[in-house]
Amino acid sequence: MNKIKLFLVAAVILVMAGSAAAQKTGYIRVDDVVRLMPETAKLQTVIEAYQKDSLQPRFNYTLSEFQRKDSIVNGKDSLKTPAAARAKMREEMQQDMYELQNWQQISQQLTQTKQDQLLEPIYSKAIAAIQSVAKENGYAYVYTKDALLVAPPADDLLPLVAKKLNLTIPGAPKASASTPAKKQ
């Protein structure tokens, strides 16, 4: 009886291993999908407008406030301003000076935050399309191509995802969008 149980367990393991080996695998770079999306092309225009309409006025305001406070604290009429008010303005001027001196770094951080905020729904849409394509085409595993150094042969899902999102892959023949290319 034990031999029969052992045989059945071995058969089940072989069947499971065979079915795992038969599962389709694919790979894709999410960044490639995002780069092809028209929303991403519009993103640069939105970022430039943000820098022009939000960041530049903030810099100009901080600079003008620093200059205004400097003229009050260090100008010829500085003695007309109470000492406590001048001391408070000096503290504010130090904060303004820090912001002005580090403006490039601060503006880069603010721009990056804005860009991340705008990219989040684009990435979500790309990932949803990848998941949908994987399900529709029977892919059990989809890997990011960047993470694989060695992998078994798999399908590049970019053409299928691009087709699902109605995107054009530059330089790709039209027929490749209907069938995935084999990894070599």
pLDDT at position 46 is: 93
The DSSP bridge pattern shows strands 155-156 and 139-144 to be: unpaired
Q: Which helix (H) or strand (E) holds 117?
A: helix 103-136
Per-residue model confidence as pLDDT tens digits over 78-116? 778 888 888 898 999 999 999 999 999 999 999 999 999
* Rounded percentage of the chain residues whose pLDDT exceeds 90: 47
pLDDT at 182: 44
Task: Give the angle 163-169-175 at the CA atoms, nearest 5°.
Answer: 60
pLDDT of residue 56: 92
- Which residues of the chain have a pLDDT value below 70? 1-22, 149, 151, 173-184
The model's pTM is 0.65
